[in-house]
Amino acid sequence: MTEENTHETASGTSQEPLRVKIADIAIRDDWQVRNKIDRATVNSYKGTYKNSGNSSGQLPPVTLARVDGTLRLVDGWHRLRALELLGESTVEATIFDATMSEAKFAAAMANMAHGLPLKHGELRKVFNAYITTRQHITKAGRIKSYRDMQQDLNNRVAHKTIYNWMKKDHPKIAAKMAEQYRDEDKARYHDGGPPPQDTFSALAVAMANLDQALAEARSMSPEERGQLIAHAKGTIAGIEGAGPWTITEANSDF
């Protein structure tokens, strides 16, 4: 498309990419859940754009949300930065209409769908965007269960981790959940209550730590992941030697 086909001529959600002036795009740095822009990714995109003449080509258009008439960047921080470094003044973009909250949450979730794997702290930012934009509230006005929240976050964060984050980052909501589901254990498991107390604490803590190790492994380098695997194998051997054990059907609550 030519530069004349900019967003001023468009309304609603664009079905085809439009060429938009970069200067017309509002960028909220606090919507970028990644801790920093990855230079290697930007340099790679620069080469791709340079070879394709600033056409989307091998790279998808950036995504913009039109909020009260203002175009806000939702997805494409690295791509936009690459074009700016090349001295380009326009970018191909798909546009959708949204409220500020919808746009903010879409920006957080965009990083879950593709790109470099998010680190633990970055996933926590996505969770907090999920809460601050009230995605945790159903249409009926009830607070979703932690398992429902896990599904909303593409199962990238275990519900037990969400439970811990909620208590630390949003204690008032955690308290409301405890009241809504009568006690914290029902809020945590949303299935009628926890397993018996004598088997709950030690196993729950151990399994939560394993879940956390898996979450962290997704953002590790191959060398770091190899070290973790070696450590995990040694840990498993130690667990097997800690005492008698039997394998039973896995409990989905853990």
Per-residue pLDDT tens, the chain, 254 aa: give them.
333 333 333 334 556 788 999 999 998 877 777 766 778 888 888 888 888 765 655 788 999 999 999 999 998 888 999 999 999 999 999 999 999 888 988 888 887 766 667 788 888 988 998 998 899 999 888 899 998 999 998 888 888 899 999 999 999 999 888 887 765 555 555 544 444 443 335 666 677 667 767 767 776 788 888 888 988 898 888 888 888 888 765 443 33
What are the backbone dihedrals phi and psi of residue 94, each rounded to the nearest 5 degrees, phi first?
A: -100, 145
Strand order in the sheet with 62-67: 18-21, 90-97, 62-67, 70-75, 25-26
Cα distances (angstroms) measured from residue 15 to each of 96, 98, 176, 247: 9, 15, 41, 53
CATH, range 7-108: 3.90.1530.10
Q: Are 44 and 59 in contact (CB under 8 A)?
A: no
* Count of C-beta atoms within a 10 Å radius of residue 181: 20
pLDDT of residue 96: 93
pLDDT of residue 4: 37
pLDDT of residue 10: 36
The residue ranges of every structural domain in the chain are 7-108, 117-240
Q: What tokens does 80 get? A: 């936009």
pTM of the model: 0.55
pLDDT of residue 15: 60
What are the backbone dihedrals phi and psi of residue 9, each rounded to the nearest 5 degrees, phi first?
A: -95, -5
Tell me the β-bridge partners of 97: 66
Q: Are 73 and 80 in contact (CB under 8 A)?
A: yes
